Chain A
Amino acid sequence: MPNPSPASAPQPAPESFSPRHDALLPNAWLVARREFGERVRSRLFVVSTLLLGFLAVSVALTPLLVRVVDRGTTSTIAVVTTDDALAGRTISILDGILNGATSPGGAAAGSGAPPAYAFVHETDSTAITAAVASGRFDGALEEQRASDGRLDFRFVSGPSFGADRAQLVTVGALAVAILDWTATNNQGATAPFLMPSVDVVAATGPTAGGQPIGAAEFSSRRVVGVVFVVLIFITLVIYGMWVAAGVVAEKSSRVMELLISAASPAQLVVGKVVGIGLAGLVQYVGILVPALVTLLLEDRIAGAVLGAGGSLGVDLSVVTPALLAAYGGFWILGFVLYSLVYAAAGSLVSRAEDLQVLALPLSLVAIVGYLLAVGALSGGISTLTRVSSLVPFWSPFIMLTRLTVGQVEPLEVAAAYAFLVSAIALVGVLAVRVYSAGVLLYGQRPGLRAIVGAVVRPPV
């Protein structure tokens, strides 16, 4: 006998009631506090902090390692002028300064080792920047004589040319100017000595509003940019996986059944993202501090390892408070965006093994952003870079790179932040819907249709 009481036929659910509203607080905070405590007390947290700290310090030391490896190679510098005598004097002076500095006595001392720098005389300045950018020359010193006899110098620095060497070249240029003045006034003329202008530009890399950034500053910014981008990529992917793994663990241990009866999906998702995010932040500080200290000490280390003139010229004054604030903002917003996706993805599988299958496609989006950012670090700011730096899933990497190694219009930064916040709001709603349906799923992984169904019509 079906349905004896109190009614016999299903009726549509009436809507004449005030639905329960589950405010995010305090439950989201309780969930966050539990997640934070569990993470920072775990052995995995301590071990991964040490490993990532080691990795960050290694990245920070990369320029120094490259310099150590390159010690045996010869860099070629073009001296570009139509004045043969001037070219001869310039090569002579630069040879003494650069080769003399790297190896006391230099090639002239007969040490047997090849000189660190070789010089060639070029007369055509039209394509010299392209020649340096392509790697044909490691640097090029252009010399032009003004109508009043003053010499103007422009040094085009290649990607492998250290900032400290560029400074030595500027010193050399001054010496060339003095020698030139002496040579042209040795007949008793009394023309006054005019200070030469020396401009140092990078052959590749960022252009701030069409103006190249100085090689020394660019070098420093690039080191900082590499450290920032590598760290943000690694931590976003790792902490995102923490979120997904946390959801899967709650499903596989079946504690989820209790959780979803005591808290709303939004409270659970937000709490998990915040709790793991805070744990990540703690770890992040633990990683970043030794990396920054390494950068601060890198010149001294380089001096000790490479001897006099081994300075890398890495100048941390480029790490301005504004840059750090932008970095912190992109890290937090990027983490929130990615971890929302990871939380939704984690809810769709029941076992930790299944999560491994999702790990690669989940990190692919971040990998694309990372690669574009690394490309921007060394290849300049293209239209693709400019556009992709506004895309929410990529802006934490690419806009950060642009901010680090170049100048960005404030409107572009504001737009990137606005798009990122909007994306978080949208992805947050979708993620909570997928999570609501996903945490009740046990068995096979749901197909795309089931996921779309959950998004369109959530179970609660």
Chain B
Amino acid sequence: MSLVVDGLTKRFGRVSALDGLSMEAPGGQVMGFLGSNGAGKTTTMRVALGVLRADAGTIRWNGLDHRSLPRPTWGYLPEERGLYPKMRVLDQLVFFAGLQGVPADVATRRVREWLLRFRVPEFADRRAEELSKGNQQKVQFLAAVLHEPRVLLLDEPFTGLDPVNIVLLREAILELRDEGRTVILSTHQMETVEAMCESVTIVDRGRAMASGSLHEVKRRTTRRLIRLAVEGDHRLPWLRELAGVRILRPGIEQSEIELEPGVEPERILAAALAAGARVTRFELAEPSLEQVFIDLVGHPTELEATPLSPAAPATAAVA
């Protein structure tokens, strides 16, 4: 049981949104789908949903072509949030569940259970326009899961949520995974991916740059990382004189130091002793997913962005 994307290609005029994208998401797992804005994540999801037709390539779920799968196979939380502003939350969630074949009484029961779980049972009778953006996002998440889809396509589900709601949503997603659902999680938050995703696909300009288990993907870089804590000056001034060494994340209690290929970790330890610093922690760690991403894509996720604006050419939203 897995979701297999094979050679997916899609062009909008002269813009290539997907350029032979291939990846595999194991069933019953959360797969992190990483990429800059405009990398092709949303287009991939839209093709899977049947909203767009690919120029070439296939998407298969359990060996079946996605175009033959019933719509309720998929649950979709779009990146662009949107609800009917004047409609009561309960009414519109029952409406969306109804479109996916859920009877009104069943949908009503599920809505109330989920709202209770999200600690907002009173939202049922409120209009969507009366809710904050974060709360509207939670409501829209419910629209994606009420029909209990086999595959969940979540496009930036944590954007705009406060820390408490992020935790609530994370728990909900992991519980859905534990029920056997497959989750494709598109996000820019590397820490979230590292905490939730068993597998990862990094996509850039419509092509998969890496795809596999989180551990496999992390091993795609030759960089090494050291977590170092010292007593005294936490700014580590003596480190600046060492070639091939960079403080990746400076910190008060500990800092993360990146070593370029060929630089041995022992050199850090020797330099600390030579400078008279008392080392309280020295740990050789896996590189972060963000480092892998930068190595593979060449820039952080936030830097390259090609949002659609009124001045952009008229074309379908490419993301």
Q: B-contacting residues of A (Cβ < 8 Å)? A: 1-14, 17-20, 22, 26-27, 30-31, 34, 38, 253-263, 437, 440-447, 450, 458-460
* A10-B20, A13-B57 given; A4·B310 CB < 8 A: no
Can you list 11 A-B pairs with a CB-CB distance of less than 8 A?
A4-B210, A10-B57, A17-B65, A253-B83, A255-B83, A258-B76, A261-B51, A444-B311, A444-B314, A459-B52, A460-B53
Shortest A136–chain B CB gap in Å is 60
**Chain B residues within an 8 Å CB radius of A38:** 84, 86-87
User: Is there an interface contact between B308 and A253, defined as CB atoms closer than 8 Å?
Assistant: no
**Chain A residues within an 8 Å CB radius of B106:** none
At the interface, yes or no: B273 with Cβ under 8 Å from chain A? no
User: Is there an interface contact between A5 and B211, defined as CB atoms closer than 8 Å?
Assistant: yes
Closest 5 CB pairs of A and B: A254-B82, A257-B78, A10-B7, A17-B65, A10-B20
The contact of B140 among A4, A34, A258, A458, by CB within 8 Å, is A258
The contact of A11 among B56, B83, B96, B309, by CB within 8 Å, is B56
**Chain A residues within an 8 Å CB radius of B4:** 6
**Chain A residues within an 8 Å CB radius of B211:** 4-5
User: Is there an interface contact between B312 and A17, defined as CB atoms closer than 8 Å?
Assistant: no
The contact of B24 among A6, A11, A263, A447, by CB within 8 Å, is A6
Complex Cα gap A12–B308 (Å): 29
Interface residues in B, total, Cβ within 8 A: 64
Complex Cα gap A389–B85 (Å): 43
User: Is there an interface contact between A257 and B23, defined as CB atoms closer than 8 Å?
Assistant: no
At the interface, yes or no: B58 with Cβ under 8 Å from chain A? yes
Question: Which residues of chain B from 67 to 119 have a CB within 8 Å of any chain A CB?
Answer: 67-71, 74, 76, 78, 80-87, 95-96, 98-100
Complex Cα gap A443–B313 (Å): 7
The contact of A254 among B57, B78, B87, by CB within 8 Å, is B78
At the interface, yes or no: B208 with Cβ under 8 Å from chain A? yes
User: Is there an interface contact between A11 and B7, defined as CB atoms closer than 8 Å?
Assistant: yes
* A8-B22, A440-B316, A444-B314 given; A253·B84 CB < 8 A: yes
The contact of A446 among B58, B140, B314, by CB within 8 Å, is B314
User: Is there an interface contact between B80 and A4, defined as CB atoms closer than 8 Å?
Assistant: no
**Chain B residues within an 8 Å CB radius of A440:** 46, 51-52, 316-317
The contact of A1 among B23, B50, B210, by CB within 8 Å, is B210
User: Is there an interface contact between A3 and B51, defined as CB atoms closer than 8 Å?
Assistant: no
User: Is there an interface contact between A444 and B71, defined as CB atoms closer than 8 Å?
Assistant: no
User: Is there an interface contact between A20 and B67, defined as CB atoms closer than 8 Å?
Assistant: yes
At the interface, yes or no: B145 with Cβ under 8 Å from chain A? no
The contact of A262 among B23, B58, B100, B313, by CB within 8 Å, is B100
Shortest B153–chain A CB gap in Å is 8
The residue of chain A having its C-beta at the shortest distance from the C-beta of B208 within the complex is: A3
* A5-B23, A19-B68, A459-B316 given; A258·B143 CB < 8 A: yes
Encoded as 1 (CB less than 8 Å from any A CB) or 0, chain B from 1 to 29 comes to 00010111100000000011111100000
User: Is there an interface contact between B67 and A17, defined as CB atoms closer than 8 Å?
Assistant: yes
User: Is there an interface contact between B99 and A255, defined as CB atoms closer than 8 Å?
Assistant: no
At the interface, yes or no: B207 with Cβ under 8 Å from chain A? yes
User: Is there an interface contact between B51 and A260, defined as CB atoms closer than 8 Å?
Assistant: yes
* A253-B84, A258-B96, A261-B74 given; A9·B7 CB < 8 A: yes
Q: A-contacting residues of B (Cβ < 8 Å)? A: 4, 6-9, 19-24, 46, 49-54, 56-58, 64-65, 67-71, 74, 76, 78, 80-87, 95-96, 98-100, 140, 143, 207-212, 220, 296, 308-317
The residue of chain A having its C-beta at the shortest distance from the C-beta of B68 within the complex is: A17
Shortest A162–chain B CB gap in Å is 50
**Chain B residues within an 8 Å CB radius of A7:** 6-7, 22
* A10-B7, A13-B58, A459-B316 given; A20·B49 CB < 8 A: no
User: Is there an interface contact between B49 and A261, defined as CB atoms closer than 8 Å?
Assistant: yes
Shortest A39–chain B CB gap in Å is 11
User: Is there an interface contact between B20 and A8, defined as CB atoms closer than 8 Å?
Assistant: yes
The residue of chain B having its C-beta at the shortest distance from the C-beta of A26 within the complex is: B98
Complex Cα gap A440–B314 (Å): 10
Complex Cα gap A404–B314 (Å): 47
* A13-B56, A34-B95, A460-B53 given; A4·B64 CB < 8 A: no
Complex Cα gap A188–B86 (Å): 91
Complex Cα gap A13–B53 (Å): 10
**Chain B residues within an 8 Å CB radius of A443:** 308-315
Complex Cα gap A441–B24 (Å): 29
Shortest A402–chain B CB gap in Å is 43
**Chain B residues within an 8 Å CB radius of A2:** 20, 207-209
**Chain A residues within an 8 Å CB radius of B21:** 3
Shortest A381–chain B CB gap in Å is 46
The contact of A22 among B71, B207, B296, B309, by CB within 8 Å, is B71
The residue of chain A having its C-beta at the shortest distance from the C-beta of B71 within the complex is: A262
User: Is there an interface contact between B76 and A441, defined as CB atoms closer than 8 Å?
Assistant: no
Shortest A278–chain B CB gap in Å is 17
User: Is there an interface contact between B212 and A257, defined as CB atoms closer than 8 Å?
Assistant: no
The residue of chain B having its C-beta at the shortest distance from the C-beta of A34 within the complex is: B95
Complex Cα gap A263–B309 (Å): 27
**Chain A residues within an 8 Å CB radius of B9:** 10
Complex Cα gap A34–B57 (Å): 37
**Chain A residues within an 8 Å CB radius of B95:** 30, 34
* A10-B20, A10-B56, A442-B308 given; A262·B6 CB < 8 A: no
Name, among A8, A10, A254, A261, the residue most crowded by chain B CB atoms within 10 Å (CB to CB). Answer: A261
**Chain B residues within an 8 Å CB radius of A18:** 68
The residue of chain A having its C-beta at the shortest distance from the C-beta of B296 within the complex is: A1
Complex Cα gap A174–B74 (Å): 84
User: Is there an interface contact between B6 and A255, defined as CB atoms closer than 8 Å?
Assistant: no
The residue of chain A having its C-beta at the shortest distance from the C-beta of B8 within the complex is: A10
**Chain A residues within an 8 Å CB radius of B87:** 34, 38
User: Is there an interface contact between B316 and A3, defined as CB atoms closer than 8 Å?
Assistant: no
User: Is there an interface contact between A4 and B208, defined as CB atoms closer than 8 Å?
Assistant: yes
**Chain B residues within an 8 Å CB radius of A10:** 7-9, 19-20, 56-57
The residue of chain B having its C-beta at the shortest distance from the C-beta of A31 within the complex is: B99
User: Is there an interface contact between A261 and B22, defined as CB atoms closer than 8 Å?
Assistant: no
Shortest A45–chain B CB gap in Å is 13
The residue of chain B having its C-beta at the shortest distance from the C-beta of A258 within the complex is: B143
The residue of chain B having its C-beta at the shortest distance from the C-beta of A450 within the complex is: B314
